[in-house]
Structure 1
Amino acid sequence: MYEEKFRPQYHFSPKKNWMNDPNGLLFYKGEYHLFYQYHPYSKVWGPMHWGHAISKDLIHWEELPIAIYPDELGQIFSGSAVVDRENTSGLKNSDEDVLIAIFTHHGEDNEKQSIAYSNDKGRTWAKYKGNPVLKNPGIKDFRDPKVFWHNPSQKWIMTLAAGDCVHFYGSPNLLDWSFLSSFGKEYGAHGGVWECPDLIELEIEGEKAKKWVLIVSINPGGPNGGSAVQYFTGDFDGIAFAADTEKERMQWADHGRDFYAAVTWSNTQEPIWIGWMSNWQYAKQVPTDPFRGAMSIPRKLTLRKEEGELKLIQLPIDFASIVASEAITMESFTLQPDKPEKIEINNLQMLFQGKVKGNTASAFTWTIRGENEYLQIIFDGVNKEVRIDRTQSGLTTFSEQFPSVSKMPLKELEEFSIFIDQSSVELFVNQGSGVMTELFFPTAKKMVLEIEAIDGIVDLGDISLKNLQSSWK
């Protein structure tokens, strides 16, 4: 019914059962395709299929039949999809461009890369008879191919997770692959296995230059525990990726606990990605029914120079089409110490935005409060960080790993957007410079929004609180 308790109303979730990583993200003829790791027979992770949904606007989704099923070669693990416009694969047999899905076949202790193809706009998929197209070289974790056409070198490039590093492969036709190089043994975080890589060229804001960004999910080893997404900036010449950051430096795409396996859509005008809103520490226990798993807000990507370093910038796609009404708009709003501003909340589908015009407070807090529970965001000017406290946010005892206070470094708060959707919060600060994504499972029937300054005054401007409609109705 898409009305179940904790069901996101403007994020994608499957009608029922288990979902994790986004796969095969592809735009073709006005349709955004979202494939995903799916177990159609249970709310717990099991034999992986590729589920499938399409959208014209990345907000309203139509769930389609399962796209790819397991077979004698194994389960269908994560991967990507491309439009083979020039029919380099020779698999085109209709008036439509042939779409190629590249995925990991996961067998007992053996992962290899295979392809499937569609000649009917992604509605049906046939597996290639010559699978696998890339055999396992003797690496246990060898998965999650992300493929794109590299114009300067006139070949397809595959970025593949291989243990705790990345391998690059090249192919003229998506069928025959040659090893090019590896990256990562000495770079970044290595607290867990590397997964779901992506390699994409992004614009630098305010400059004509571009830089390559290598995106890698890691599990465990995230900044606040469990799984997370790290990234590296640098150059790619069609063979090797050369990072331009120090080897030991760690850059996190999202400092929240619930953003993982994020990858970009192929064949779009501007780079857009989406991630799975969960964490492997407790993903199998979250108290949702009949579904388990949801996707983040789709986000546009750029790079920005901050203090001489390149930073990954994420901005949510334009949600104007689902804004129902503006409950509150104010030009200015002054928070006084010990005088919390209270706003009654009718539902947990909202967007709260504002700018900080002046601030003498040590911190200010943004709290959704119900009887005996609260979710709190603390903007801490003394410790130069923002925290999300969900220790008392409702249902928390389903996993001892779930109650937490997550932290993100933040030198100064200039502007913020807070998206709430039934059981999730996504915080964007300073025009997408910092992002935190977290789940919470409130139980209170009545909720109040409280905003309070601590030990000083906070002047807020351009305040708006918008109620967001359900995209399922």
Structure 2
Amino acid sequence: MKTPMAITNQRYRLGYHLMTPGGWMNDPNGFSFFKGWYHIFYQYYPYAAEWGPMHWGHARSRDLVHWETLPVALAPDENENGCFSGSAVVYEDKLWLVYTGHHTPNAVDPEDFYQDQRVAWSEDGIHFTKYGANPVLKTPAGNTKHFRDPKVWQDGDMFYMVLGSQATDGLGRALIYGSPDLLHWQEVTELSKAVSKEKEGYMWECPDFFHLDGADILLMSPQGVEADGDRFRNLNQTGYLLGHVEEKKLAHHGFVEIDHGHDFYATQTMLTPDGRRVMIAWMNAWDSSMPEIEDGWAGALTLPRELSVKDGYLVQKPVAELKGLRQEVLLDGQLEAQQDYKLGKVAELKLTFADKAEGVLLLLTDGSRNLQLSLEPGGRLVLNRNTEDGERAAWRRSEGPLKLQIFLDKSSAEIFVDDGELTFTERMYWQDDVTCRLLAKSANQTKAWRLESESNLY
């Protein structure tokens, strides 16, 4: 029997983000609420800090903040070589997992594969049974071998599934299927398709489709989108198409990046019991360096973020439950320019510039790792970290006072700009306590808290 990977060094272990107890993590899966618990699953390889035959790791929480790691929910068996991404839905008092079975019949060539959709269920939310007649959906005609990542929801007496797909012409697309019982599926429509590989990608991973604030939104991670100025600077992107469904097609205004940092991919949302649309993502990307691999683990999930629509764009705010992490106040008032203020490694910083601030505004540093924010004339907000390809930038949508809310953790920084109109997600491998330094002489109002750390249970 294989032995799960052990952590060899705690230096980069996060204080309040969900991680694995050891081994590899990527996409969040199965974000759901069942019998009083929030559940999150994730792509997981327990036996090495590298991508391998995918399992479903599992954690649960009462409050979206403090997570308890549970046993592995799904593992490959003789019928599949990997349990790829998918989702969860509650039906007949059971928690159902709908996932992609990944098959590699030619062990010599990992690119010789096929994919299908499968289900499993649980009565207690911990122990899962795979359906004996899997798969419930095979790759359709007119599609390449790329056919994965089902996101399922219920509408009345029907279930619907949006799937990431690649048409035989090599363009990414999202397909919708319907089922009365989660076991028998029929295609409903091709919801949307890339206009070209360069602009919208050759494969749409991790799709999610929902209605919010009067708009229909397809959230997904397209592969192959080419860089365009400040946009699309990572290897693969994550963003959305926002519009309205007309005759079973999504009429939209073009693909919009949802996060502008280096380390954000593979979103999934859920509708909470009180009606909020909450999103979580992998807090890494396929081109992230991930030095924690040396320590026996890799990858983490972002903070949960509540979504809303403003002026035709998605807005992300940290869920209100995160305020419960706040401990003592570290800063309260105005920062003096060119002064260092100690934050530690686990903190929340809120800063509002009261006048028209421009230039290099803020530096977060531990003495060796730097994260700098600048605002150029016209509203171009620039993030620079002192790593290779360190710059990322986006244009503000508001003209008022610049607002920043920054969550620091032991190897990350999540930056919310203008009440979540823009976000930047970064893995920052802090070596020492972080200080903040205001670089521009600008009126400001600042508050910072030390946050609760080591909130995960293993």
Q: TM-score, normalised by structure 1?
A: 0.84
Query: Could you tell me which residue of structure 2 aligns to residue 77 of structure 1?
Result: 84
Query: Could you tell me which residue of structure 2 aligns to residue 142 of structure 1?
Result: 147
Query: Once the 2 structures are TM-superposed, how far is the Cα of residue 244 of structure 1 from its aligned partner?
Result: 3.0
Aligned partners of 1:356 and 1:414 also within 8 Å: yes
Structure 1 32/130 Cα, relative in aligned 2: closer, same or farther at 3 Å? same
The match for 1:378 among 360, 373, 380 is 373
RMSD of Structure 2 on Structure 1 (CA) = 2.2
Structure 1 472/124 Cα, relative in aligned 2: closer, same or farther at 3 Å? closer
Query: Once the 2 structures are TM-superposed, how far is the Cα of residue 259 of structure 1 from its aligned partner?
Result: 1.1
User: Would you say 1:254 and 2:259 are equivalent positions?
Assistant: yes
* Structure 2: distance between partners of 1:18 and 1:190: 28
More displaced 10-residue stretch of structure 1: 279-288 or 64-73: 279-288
User: Would you say 1:181 and 2:181 are equivalent positions?
Assistant: no
Q: What is the 5 A alignment of 1:6-21?
A: 6-21=12-27
Query: Once the 2 structures are TM-superposed, how far is the Cα of residue 384 of structure 1 from its aligned partner?
Result: 2.4
* Structure 2: distance between partners of 1:389 and 1:415: 18
User: Would you say 1:410 and 2:417 are equivalent positions?
Assistant: no
Query: Could you tell me which residue of structure 2 aligns to residue 274 of structure 1?
Result: 280
Q: What is the 5 A alignment of 1:43-442?
A: 43-74=49-80, 75-84=82-91, 87=92, 97-108=93-104, 109-120=113-124, 122-137=125-140, 138-151=143-156, 154-163=157-166, 164-182=172-190, 183-186=192-195, 189-203=199-213, 210-221=214-225, 223-236=232-245, 240-245=248-253, 249-266=254-271, 268=273, 269-282=275-288, 286-287=292-293, 289-305=295-311, 310-318=312-320, 319-330=322-333, 332-333=334-335, 339-345=337-343, 347-359=344-356, 361-371=357-367, 373-382=368-377, 384-392=379-387, 403-410=389-396, 412=399, 414-442=402-430
CA offsets 1:86-105 (integer angstroms, 9 cap, x no match): x3xxxxxxxxx021110000
Structure 1 342/296 Cα, relative in aligned 2: closer, same or farther at 3 Å? same
Query: Once the 2 structures are TM-superposed, how far is the Cα of residue 460 of structure 1 from its aligned partner?
Result: 1.1
Query: Could you tell me which residue of structure 2 aligns to residue 460 of structure 1?
Result: 444
Aligned length: 423
Query: Once the 2 structures are TM-superposed, how far is the Cα of residue 447 of structure 1 from its aligned partner?
Result: 4.1
* Structure 1: distance between partners of 2:330 and 2:8: 24
Aligned partners of 1:82 and 1:267 also within 8 Å: no
Structure 1 230/16 Cα, relative in aligned 2: closer, same or farther at 3 Å? same
**Residue identity in the other structure for 1:213:** I
* Structure 2: distance between partners of 1:143 and 1:340: 51
Aligned partners of 2:37 and 2:61 also within 8 Å: yes
Aligned partners of 1:218 and 1:229 also within 8 Å: yes
* Structure 2: distance between partners of 1:150 and 1:386: 40
Query: Could you tell me which residue of structure 2 aligns to residue 91 of structure 1?
Result: none
* Structure 1: distance between partners of 2:159 and 2:243: 19
Query: Once the 2 structures are TM-superposed, how far is the Cα of residue 150 of structure 1 from its aligned partner?
Result: 2.1
**Residue identity in the other structure for 2:194:** K
Aligned partners of 1:28 and 1:267 also within 8 Å: no
Could you say what secondary structure the match of 1:218 adopts? strand
Query: Once the 2 structures are TM-superposed, how far is the Cα of residue 3 of structure 1 from its aligned partner?
Result: 8.1
* Structure 1: distance between partners of 2:53 and 2:46: 9
**Residue identity in the other structure for 1:234:** G
Aligned partners of 1:157 and 1:171 also within 8 Å: yes
Q: TM-score, normalised by structure 2?
A: 0.87
CA offsets 1:42-100 (integer angstroms, 9 cap, x no match): 1000000001100111111110110011123321000000011xx3xxxxxxxxx0211
* Structure 1: distance between partners of 2:301 and 2:8: 15
Q: Percent identity?
A: 31
Aligned partners of 2:8 and 2:295 also within 8 Å: no
Query: Could you tell me which residue of structure 1 aligns to residue 108 of structure 2?
Result: none
Query: Once the 2 structures are TM-superposed, how far is the Cα of residue 472 of structure 1 from its aligned partner?
Result: 3.5
* Structure 1: distance between partners of 2:211 and 2:201: 26
More displaced 10-residue stretch of structure 1: 141-150 or 317-326: 317-326
CA offsets 1:345-399 (integer angstroms, 9 cap, x no match): 3x2111110222112x53132212333x24223231325222221225xxxxxxx
Query: Once the 2 structures are TM-superposed, how far is the Cα of residue 290 of structure 1 from its aligned partner?
Result: 2.5
* Structure 2: distance between partners of 1:171 and 1:191: 28
Could you say what secondary structure the match of 1:133 adopts? coil
* Structure 2: distance between partners of 1:241 and 1:417: 37
**Residue identity in the other structure for 1:300:** E
Query: Could you tell me which residue of structure 1 aligns to residue 29 of structure 2?
Result: 23
* Structure 2: distance between partners of 1:132 and 1:302: 35
Aligned partners of 2:290 and 2:299 also within 8 Å: no
**Residue identity in the other structure for 2:24:** W
Could you say what secondary structure the match of 1:37 adopts? strand
* Structure 1: distance between partners of 2:202 and 2:16: 32
Aligned partners of 1:81 and 1:266 also within 8 Å: no
Structure 1 116/287 Cα, relative in aligned 2: closer, same or farther at 3 Å? closer
Query: Once the 2 structures are TM-superposed, how far is the Cα of residue 286 of structure 1 from its aligned partner?
Result: 5.0
* Structure 2: distance between partners of 1:430 and 1:315: 10
Q: Which 4+ stretches in 1 moved above 4 angstroms? A: 283-288
**Residue identity in the other structure for 1:42:** A
* Structure 2: distance between partners of 1:81 and 1:266: 12
**Residue identity in the other structure for 2:442:** V
More displaced 10-residue stretch of structure 1: 179-188 or 315-324: 179-188
**Residue identity in the other structure for 1:67:** A
Aligned partners of 2:259 and 2:423 also within 8 Å: yes
Q: 5+ unaligned residues in a row in structure 2: which ranges?
A: 1-6, 105-112, 167-171, 226-230
